[in-house]
Structure 1
Amino acid sequence: MTSGNQARSQTDVVVDGIKRMIMGGELAAGARLPVEKDLAALLGVSRSSLREGVRALTVTGVLETRQGAGTYVTALDPRILMSPMTFLVDLQRPESVIELQSVRRVLEVEAAGRAALRVTEAELAAAEEILASMDELLSGPGRASHEAVMEADIAFHRVIAGACGNATLEALIEALASRTVRARLWRAINEEGTELVTHREHRAILAALRTGDPDASRLRMGVHLLAVEQYLTASLGPGAGQAPEEPAAPAQ
């Protein structure tokens, strides 16, 4: 037990030490770490503890090991650094999805407002192309594939998050999307006509973005995501009975 705690403590020393070196400017994004022997001596740890710490930082996206070339600091892209958050989100209990959706609504409303001031013609065209594909899915013969509609829905929201001009905000939204996407898929499967209503809400969001009006864009996004949140509260909240089993998320 003692040796296990000691090894963990030494790993923490490595993680904290390398983090300080990055924050202090000794190791910049893209920089190569000193050779193992020198770095272990600098941090005052064994080489085995150093390797454990490096592995931990590699998993979180801070470091990357290049075969035969050494270990490097990554570009420290927020999308990579926050990707482990998706794993934590997926581990939340079903009833916690309401809280996750509430947080996501706050973030996406702000992203829509920022996007209204920064969105490019190319991004508007991409969003329009996605909604046009949804037009075909929802108006074509037969029942539209829920998975295909959700794929288009995910892509539409990603365009807006990408247009907000804030990589950290975009990464947070992406990290929160996987669990809530599954809840929205459940809603689509179990509420007749929901997909058409959602599609009209998407159209309203895009129209607001085209005008460059941040307040209108925030309002339209807020209305859109609040409807999902209210459905989840009614379905999974207190007094709603047993939470339904969530279907598998569509491929992303």
Structure 2
Amino acid sequence: MALTDEAITRIRAMIQRGELPPGSRLPPEPQLAAQMGLSRSGVREAVKVLESARVLDVRRGDGTYVTSLAPRLLLEGLGLAVQLLQDDTLLEVMEVRRMLEPVATGLAALRLSGEQLDELGRILDDMRAAADDHEQLIHFDTTFHHTVIAATGNETLTTLMDGLSSRTLRARVWRGLIEGNSAHTTIEEHAAIYRALCARDQLLAHASALVHVNTSEAWLRAVLAAQAQVPVEPA
């Protein structure tokens, strides 16, 4: 493991120094190992790790290349990690969303194109039509917020927010909303965000998004509290 870690560090340093820019091909394994003064097995394991992290792209029969290093690749694993988080940690995720999403929504109000506004309007109509369909609401909710954040033009922010807004988290919130007969209220919160975006009102968009995230957090707390009170059946 120590040799693998050292090989990872060396390859990352070569990328950071520009010796291996995005899209470039790594030297063959024997040459790379000799160049770094490490064993081929250590280099081989390091390449596997960096491939999993989407830093390297191993093309069978062709070679190993540095990826584009775009945020959507490098931060992709965040969503998988959030899917595994439990209870109180999910509330921490909501806290992070509360810090980022209103600011991002306010920025989107200044940068949204007319086509993106039209798309949000269509998504909002779809949400209203699917007010009692749990699965459809999760899909449209995810699409709505992704469209808003993507309108900022900040790929790093968009990838982070996509990762923090995992399907598991949204499913728990929407389940609570539907069971509490509050889905329509939350859909109207989306409508308030949409109206603020249409008005290009940055402060109102920020405030509307903050209200919405607070509502989602409150319902998540309610769902988690209800789950904690359910007795566990003996094995």
Structure-2 separation of matches of 1:47 and 1:217: 54
- Report if aligned partners of 1:235, 1:243 keep a CA contact under 8 Å in 2: no
Q: Is the Cα–Cα contact under 8 Å of residues 8 and 47 in structure 2 kept in the other structure?
A: yes
SS at 1:10 equivalent: helix
CA distance in 1, matches of 2:230, 2:6: 44
Q: 1:244 to 1:148 in 2, by over 3 A?
A: farther
Equivalent residue number for residue 21 of structure 2:
28
Post-superposition CA distance 1:157-215 (Å, at most 9, x none): 110111112111111111111142132132123211x2111111111101111121211
Q: How does 1:79-98 map to 2 (within 5 A)?
A: 79-98=72-91
RMSD: 1.8
Q: d(CA) in 2 for partners of 1:133 and 1:62?
A: 38
Q: 2 CA distance for matches of 1:137 and 1:233?
A: 24
| TM-score normalised over the length of structure 2 | 0.92
| 2:174 paired residue among 171, 185, 190 | 185
More displaced, 182-191 or 44-53?
182-191
Unaligned runs of 5+ in 1: 1-7, 139-143, 246-252
| SS of residue matched to 1:71 | strand
Deviation at 1:244, TM superposition (A): 6.3
Residues in 2 aligned to 1:73 and 1:106: alpha-carbon distance in whole angstroms: 33
Give the fraction of aligned pairs with identical amino acids, expressed as a percent. 37
Q: Distance in 2 between the 1:41 and 1:187 partners?
A: 58
Kindly indicate whether the alpha-carbon contact (under 8 Å) linking 2:120 and 2:147 is maintained by their aligned counterparts in 1.
yes
- Which range moved further: 177-186 or 197-206? 177-186
| Corresponding residue SS for 1:65 | strand
Q: CA deviation at 1:108?
A: 1.2
Match of 1:151 in 2: 139
1:219 to 186, 204, 207: 207
Q: Match for residue 117 of structure 2?
A: 124
- Distance, in Å, in 1 between the alignment partners of 2:127 and 2:90 is 26
| Within-5 A mapping of 1:96-107 | 96-107=89-100
Cα distance between partner residues in 2 of 1:233 and 1:155: 23
Aligned-partner Cα distance in 2 for 1:126–1:66: 37
**Residue 66 of structure 2: aligned partner:** 73
Kindly indicate whether residue 43 of structure 2 is the aligned counterpart of residue 50 of structure 1: yes
1:98 and 1:233 in contact (8 A); partners too: yes
Provide closer, same or farther for how the CA distance between residues 244 and 48 of structure 1 changes in structure 2, counting only shifts above 3 A. farther
Q: Secondary structure at the match of 2:165?
A: helix
Matched, 1:204 2:204: no
Q: Which amino acid aligns with 1:14?
A: A
CA distance in structure 1 between the partners assigned to 2:227 and 2:138 by the alignment: 26
Distance 1:243 1:181, change over 3 A: farther
Task: Tell me how far apart the structure 1 counterparts of residues 170 and 230 of structure 2 sit (CA, whole Å).
Answer: 15
Q: Cα–Cα, structure 1 residues 63 and 241, in superposed 2: closer, same or farther, change >3 Å?
A: closer
Distance 2:23 2:13 in 1: 16
TM-score (normalizing by structure 1): 0.86
Q: Contact between 1:208 and 1:217, CA under 8 Å: does it hold in 2?
A: yes
Cα displacement string for residues 9-41 of structure 1 (whole angstroms, at most 9, x for unaligned residues): 111111111111111111111111111111111
SS of 2:65 mapped into structure 1: strand
Give the direction of change, closer, same or farther, for the CA distance of 1:244–1:78 in structure 2 (3 Å limit): farther
